[in-house]
Amino acid sequence: MTDPLMTGKQGPAELAAAIDAARRRLIGFAGACSSREWQTSPLDGDARPVGVVVDHVAHSYEYIGFWMREIVAGHQVTVGPDIVDGYNAEHAVAASRVSQAEAVAHLHRSGDALIEFVAGLAPADLDAGDGRTRRLAQIAIRHADDHRAEIEAALAAAG
């Protein structure tokens, strides 16, 4: 079944609402983590603790929003795995001791800014940069949900 949010038919308000819903699910998960879970690194091949991964989503809202603003303004934006990996590596060091309260506050702050921006777009803005604005909004939705689901499964498997 095709996810209707990924079909390209949704408008700015629907995308903003979906980003908010995914963020709220991640905030709920983060708030329910025990101190031990928050500090564990349950993901195979990823040494980051749960707290750093949660805060990473908040951090990603900032650079995704920046890229979207630049694209809508008509600027060339280079996005790729090397750039994202670099941001992730820098963030992992900077956020190595992030508390639950700090990460949740970061999710609220950066998510609010991204959601407000996306909600304020004109429908045509989603097609800017050959549709990159829309794809980045879709990534923001999936990113929070994918990390949350992956961590929940890993924690459940670990018992």
Quote the pTM value.
0.91
Give residue 117's Cα distance to chain centre: 15
Nearest to 118 by CA among 50, 110, 105: 110
* Residue 55 neighbours by CB under 8 Å, 6+ apart: 91, 95, 98, 102, 103, 106, 107
The pLDDT value recorded for residue 84 is 85
Name the token pair of 42.
Answer: 């349950």
Q: How confident is the model at residue 93 (pLDDT cuts 50, 70, 90)?
A: confident
How many CB atoms lie under 10 A from the CB of residue 114?
A: 25
pLDDT mean over 62-75: 96
Q: What is d(CA 65, CA 117) in angstroms, rounded to the nearest whole number?
A: 8
Q: Enumerate domains of the chain plus CATH numbers.
A: 11-158 (1.20.120.450)
- 24-51 residue pLDDT tens: 999 999 999 999 999 999 999 889 999 9
